């Protein structure tokens, strides 16, 4: 697995596209899978790969994270991890409101559920959407 600055984007589509452009310009071999930190980055990766005639998922599989609404309308449809955005916002609000109100929050780890949403960009067969666990 390759990591490091050469693989860092900026959480925007332009960052994902720029990453692919840099790798190709440097003569780097693309990996079998590009896992993006969010769907916006994955959109940029999909765009840049298509611009270079690199097929998804046949040549490179691509995944995102968030399951933004446009992810299901892309071609190929984006495999992603769905997170409960409304619950995330509500939980953050409750924590901030508690701090502003002077409540001393209990030290605890908050874990919100996620769900894998398999679509065609991963090349892993039938499209499925798991429920939040």
Q: Which domains are seen in the chain, by residue range?
A: 5-83+116-129 (3.40.50.2300)
Which CA distances in Å does 57 have to 54, 61, 123?
A: 9, 4, 5
User: Measured between alpha carbons, how far is 51 from 45 in angstroms, rounded to an integer?
Assistant: 10
User: Measured between alpha carbons, how far is 119 from 79 in angstroms, rounded to an integer?
Assistant: 4
Helix 13-25 to helix 39-51 angle (10° resolution) is: 40
- pTM of the predicted protein model: 0.84
Q: What is the pLDDT along the chain (133 residues), one digit of tens a residue?
A: 555 666 777 899 999 999 999 999 999 899 999 999 999 999 999 999 999 999 999 999 999 999 999 999 999 999 999 999 899 999 999 888 888 888 776 677 889 999 999 999 999 876 777 665 4
Eight-class DSSP state of 75: S
């Amino acid at each position: 697995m390759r990591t490091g600055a050469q693989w860092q984007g900026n959480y925007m589509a332009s960052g994902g596209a720029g990453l692919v452009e840099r790798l190709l310009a440097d003569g780097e071999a693309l990996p079998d899978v590009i896992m993006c930190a969010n769907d916006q980055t994955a959109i940029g990766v999909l765009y840049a790969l298509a611009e270079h005639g690199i097929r998804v998922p046949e040549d490179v599989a691509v995944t995102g994270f968030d399951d933004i609404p446009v992810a299901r309308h892309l071609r190929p449809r984006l495999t992603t991890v769905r997170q409960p955005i409304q619950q995330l916002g509500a939980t953050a609000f409750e924590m901030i409101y508690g701090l502003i109100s002077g409540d001393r929050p209990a030290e605890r780890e908050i874990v919100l559920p996620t769900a894998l949403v398999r679509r065609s960009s991963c090349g892993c067969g039938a499209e499925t959407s798991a429920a939040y666990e």
